[in-house]
Structure 1
Amino acid sequence: MNLLLLQPEDLGADSNHITLSDARAAHIRNVLRAATGDTLKIGLLNGLTGNAVITAMSDSGISLQFELHTPPPAKLPLTLLLALPRPKMARRIIRAATELGVAEIILLNSYRVEKSYWQSPLVGDETLHKAMQEGLEQAGDTLLPKLRRATRFKPFAEDELPSLLNDKLGLLAHPYSDQGPPQSVTQNCLLAIGPEGGFIPYECEKLIAAGLQSFSLGPRILKTETAVSSLIGRLFL
């Protein structure tokens, strides 16, 4: 945890003082091994970042005096269109995308996405919201990515995707494309990454017809978890 993330409901009448008694207090005590008088980096969810000084510590809680004054790091100009990963992998992938600064994540259905994945609690709102908050704490960020689901591929590709691509560069990561990746992307971008095994030919055709340009990183076929970090790093960082 590189940033202590406060929730809006944490703030009381005295907006510059707070006492924590939950997992964050345990982290301060047991992982950071902080003591009274130490300074921590702090941020308000979807708000500013700043610093906090530990004013008291006891078995019942940790008291902080804090000041919020600095905007969080800028998001990447990126919408990640991601075929829903296997539930056990989804949490790690969403957390990594948040750490890297993705502004919006759209989870997309695909032929190779098992129907049961959508019903798993591992891809439920609560689990993925917690994963995104962990990504924020790691990256020193406070702004949650927008997260939504597109559970029907064809209506999304035909009816929604073309309008989403207005003023955006549309990219489709596909291991069998003949084109290499663009370099140092600076404009708003939508990047589509398929499931394990990739999008099927029909889906690639629909995505390209909507305005995406396919490209490949080379002959190696990567797992989704590896592909997300590698592609974002290659294109933006």
Structure 2
Amino acid sequence: MNALVFKDEREAEFMDFNDPRAAHIKDVLKIAGEGEIYAGIANRKLFKTRVVECANGYKFEMTNKELPNPARQKLLLCVPFTRPQIARRIMFEATCFGVEKLAFYVADKGDESYLKSSAYASEEVEKNLIKGAEQACSTFLPEFAKLTGLDEAIEICRACQIKIAPDIYEASAGLSEIAKKGIRTALIFGGERGFSNSERDRLRAGGFTLASLGERVLRTDSAIIAALALCLNAK
């Protein structure tokens, strides 16, 4: 945790010692009595913030010292509903990279039981997005959406200038050849079992290029990290 991100103004006033982040302030940052940390409210400015230890928690007072706050990137990421532990990792990493919008969709080869997981409940999503922002030292969270299927995912990507669907089996180019710096880019990933033939056809019809991340079969979260890194470091 490199900055403390509060979900709202009320949380920005006081934190109980029972909050896991309070333990970070005490045990990692070694703040005893009072000190300063980087903090801000989600999707607002980041400040140097005074923290004061009280009888049962910490009080916070944001100073007028505004800090650099990395903005969202021009990246839209769509991923099938996946196993809860992988979904949480994706939410965290997508926020670390500054994704502008993160959406999960129902894939042809997906497991419908994943949709019922608490990992996709609003409070759990917010918690994992905030963890990613705190790691990245930014207050900005992605816009989050749950979609009914691939067609809806393709539709929300319509305005993106570059559209990429990583696919190890039918790629026509390497992802690094397609990605361009500073251009609004959409990434749609297949599920754990890959895209169906129908999904590939619909992606191509929607203007997506099937792109390669190499010859190795990557787990979904690993592939997403690789793709986002390539997009953000493109020329």
- Aligned-pair distance for 1:11? 6.8
- Aligned-pair distance for 1:91? 0.5
Give me the TM-score of the superposition, normalised by structure 1: 0.87
- CA distance in structure 2 between the aligned counterparts of 1:82 and 1:116, rounded to whole angstroms: 16
Q: Which residue of 2 aligns with 1:235?
A: 231
Q: Which residue of 2 aligns with 1:52?
A: 49
- Aligned-pair distance for 1:94? 1.0
User: Which of 158, 161, 173 does residue 165 from structure 1 map onto?
Assistant: 158
User: Which of 118, 132, 135 does residue 129 from structure 2 map onto?
Assistant: 132
Consecutive unaligned residues in structure 2, runs of 5 or more: none
One-letter identity of the residue aligned with 1:171: I
The superposition leaves residues 187-214 of structure 1 with CA deviations (integer Å, 9 ceiling, x where unpaired) of 0011111111211111111111111111
Q: Is the 8 A contact 1:48 1:72 kept in 2?
A: yes
- Aligned-pair distance for 1:40? 0.8
One-letter identity of the residue aligned with 1:8: D
One-letter identity of the residue aligned with 2:172: D
- Aligned-pair distance for 1:131? 0.4
Give me the TM-score of the superposition, normalised by structure 2: 0.88
Change (3 A) 1:87 1:163: closer
Q: Which residue of 2 aligns with 1:5?
A: 5
- CA distance in structure 2 between the aligned counterparts of 1:9 and 1:38, rounded to whole angstroms: 20
- CA distance in structure 1 between the aligned counterparts of 2:42 and 2:179, rounded to whole angstroms: 32
- Aligned-pair distance for 1:62? 2.0
- Aligned-pair distance for 1:121? 1.1
Aligned partner of residue 174 in structure 2, secondary structure? coil
Change (3 A) 1:62 1:230: same
Q: Is the 8 A contact 2:76 2:186 kept in 1?
A: yes
Q: Which residue of 2 aligns with 1:179?
A: 173
Change (3 A) 1:126 1:6: closer
- CA distance in structure 1 between the aligned counterparts of 2:34 and 2:92, rounded to whole angstroms: 31
Change (3 A) 1:46 1:83: same
The superposition leaves residues 196-237 of structure 1 with CA deviations (integer Å, 9 ceiling, x where unpaired) of 121111111111111111111221111101001001101213
Q: Is the 8 A contact 2:6 2:42 kept in 1?
A: yes
The superposition leaves residues 10-58 of structure 1 with CA deviations (integer Å, 9 ceiling, x where unpaired) of 279xxxxx3432513333123322123422111111100011123x423
Q: Which residue of 2 aligns with 1:150?
A: 147
Change (3 A) 1:235 1:3: same
1:101 aligns with 2:98: yes
Q: Is the 8 A contact 1:171 1:212 kept in 2?
A: yes
Change (3 A) 1:229 1:49: same
Q: Is the 8 A contact 2:98 2:141 kept in 1?
A: no
One-letter identity of the residue aligned with 2:2: N
User: Which of 190, 200, 219 does residue 204 from structure 1 map onto?
Assistant: 200
- CA distance in structure 2 between the aligned counterparts of 1:89 and 1:128, rounded to whole angstroms: 13
Percent identical among aligned pairs is 27
67-76 or 107-116, larger mean C-alpha shift: 67-76
Change (3 A) 1:223 1:7: closer
Alignment of 1:32-51 (within 5 A): 32-51=29-48
Q: How many residues align?
A: 227
1:75 aligns with 2:68: no
The superposition leaves residues 130-154 of structure 1 with CA deviations (integer Å, 9 ceiling, x where unpaired) of 1001101111111210110112334
